[in-house]
């Protein structure tokens, strides 16, 4: 659920409050009650902070315009510390100039700088926020700064050449996203890439390739993900850009490869893409891939793998493996509702491999 934020600020600080609201609402991280938070004549920050507790997060913007010349602890402690703690309301504090608010009030952010406003956004969206004092210095780097504006401050897609820059961006700006999805592309198919993303998100996409990609995009559109595609040099990789609230970073260079479980669907896909292993091993991996793909609901990938197995078995004259792969494809087509296609394939399979000849079902 999108949190609500109530900033308490003097009319003179509206520009800073509006900049904070724009950053929070730009990617749907929060709904900001901007107009309601402006101090009315005769109102002070303590009174406005009590009004702000109707929201999920209350922000108090300190400046020379909002701070009274003398503000004793008895005037602000209940409204800014004790009462919010008792009600479970998150209270944050923002400085708009060189004023000196009470030191004990925390967390505190610099509303004058983009780096400070980003840290504020991370605190609002992050359940386990940890301040990063070095972030502002890192964001002075031109490339990181550009990526921050293009991907962290709003949804977007960008391309970088070096993996080191992509990883540094993910490390420094990871708090701006719900999750960072790292996917190694290489020469992998669109179906395999979409299937891996879905598996990492614990989604079961049991439709065909087009349906699976459509559902993946629909799921991602409403969430703030960073999709990091490594080795994204093929047109297929470009199809994995997620829209909506997501940002996508295409990295032309591949980073260090993750270790691949030898008994995984990915290992089976890689072996069949290369097609240079011993035939017995390829058959074993096809069966391993079949089991994993079924368990994880990755049916489009299962279909591709079984088609590869069937074609190679036919080329090699391995009738048993060809029959086994064909049976699986028939089951997949039936699960997709492609019944006529499944019926025709099953008839041809039975005519060729079954010991008992079936009667014709029609003109084929």
Contact 160, 252 (CB under 8 A): yes
Would you write out the chain's pLDDT as a tens digit for each of its 364 residues?
Answer: 789 999 999 999 999 999 999 999 988 889 999 999 999 998 999 999 999 999 999 999 999 999 988 888 988 999 999 999 999 999 999 999 999 899 889 999 999 999 999 999 999 987 555 555 444 444 447 889 899 999 999 999 999 999 999 999 999 999 899 999 999 998 999 999 999 999 999 999 899 999 999 999 999 999 999 999 999 999 999 999 999 999 999 999 998 877 888 889 999 999 999 988 899 999 999 999 999 999 999 999 999 999 999 999 999 999 999 999 999 999 999 999 999 999 999 999 988 877 544 445 454 4
Q: What is the pLDDT of residues 117-173, one digit of tens each?
A: 999 999 998 755 555 544 444 444 788 989 999 999 999 999 999 999 999 999 999
Which residues have a Cβ under 8 Å from the Cβ of 173 and sit 6 or more positions away?
Answer: 147, 148, 151, 152, 226
For residue 348, give both structure tokens: 């041809």
Measured distance CA(155)–CA(157) in Å, rounded: 7
Q: Name which CATH class applies to 142-251.
A: alpha beta
Give yes or no for a contact between 152 and 199, defined as CB atoms under 8 angstroms apart: no
* 11 contact partners, CB below 8 Å, separation of at least 6: 38, 39, 65
* Distance, CA of 224 to CA of 342 (rounded, Å): 39
Q: Decide: 182 and 200 in contact? Cβ < 8 Å.
A: no
> How many CB atoms within 10 Å of residue 211?
14
C-alpha 194/C-alpha 301 separation (Å) is 9
Q: Which CATH class is domain 4-131?
A: alpha beta
Domain range annotation of the chain = 4-131, 142-251, 265-353
Rounded to two decimals, the pTM is: 0.81
CA 258 to chain CA centroid, nearest Å: 19
- Please determine whether the domains at 4-131 and 142-251 fall in the same fold group of CATH: yes
pLDDT of residue 72: 87
Q: Residue 251: its pLDDT value, please?
A: 96
């Amino acid at each position: 659920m999108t949190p609500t934020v109530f900033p308490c600020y003097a009319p003179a600080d509206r520009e800073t409050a509006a900049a904070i609201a724009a950053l929070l609402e730009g990617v749907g991280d929060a709904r900001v009650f901007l107009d309601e938070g402006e101090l009315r004549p005769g109102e002070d920050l303590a009174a406005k902070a009590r009004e702000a507790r109707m929201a999920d997060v209350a922000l108090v913007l300190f400046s020379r315009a909002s701070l009274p010349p003398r503000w004793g602890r008895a005037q602000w402690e209940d409204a800014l510390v004790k009462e919010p703690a008792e009600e479970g309301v998150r209270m944050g504090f923002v400085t708009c100039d060189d004023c000196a608010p009470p030191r004990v009030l925390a967390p505190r952010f610099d509303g004058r700088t983009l780096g400070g406003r980003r840290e504020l956004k991370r605190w609002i969206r992050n359940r386990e926020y940890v301040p990063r004092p070095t972030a502002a210095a890192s964001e002075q780097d031109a490339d990181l700064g550009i990526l921050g504006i293009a991907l962290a401050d709003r949804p977007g897609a960008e391309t970088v050449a070096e993996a080191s820059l992509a990883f540094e961006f993910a490390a420094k700006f990871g708090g701006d996203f719900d999750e960072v999805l790292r996917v190694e592309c290489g020469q992998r198919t669109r179906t395999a890439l979409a299937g891996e993303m879905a598996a990492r998100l614990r989604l079961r996409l049991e439709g065909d390739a087009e349906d699976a990609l459509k559902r993946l995009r629909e799921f991602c559109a409403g969430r703030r993900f960073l999709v990091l595609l490594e080795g994204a040099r093929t047109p297929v990789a470009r199809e994995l850009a997620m829209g909506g609230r997501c940002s996508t970073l295409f990295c032309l260079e591949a980073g260090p490869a993750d270790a691949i479980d030898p008994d995984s669907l990915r290992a089976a896909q890689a072996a069949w893409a290369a097609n240079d292993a011993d035939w017995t091993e390829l058959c074993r991996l096809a069966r391993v891939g079949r089991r994993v793909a079924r368990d994880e609901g990755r049916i489009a990938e299962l279909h591709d793998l079984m088609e590869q197995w069937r074609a190679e078995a036919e080329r090699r004259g391995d009738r048993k493996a060809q029959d086994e792969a064909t049976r699986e494809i028939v089951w997949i087509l039936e699960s997709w509702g492609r019944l006529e296609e499944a019926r025709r394939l099953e008839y041809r399979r039975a005519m060729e491999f079954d010991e008992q000849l079936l009667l014709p079902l029609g003109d084929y």
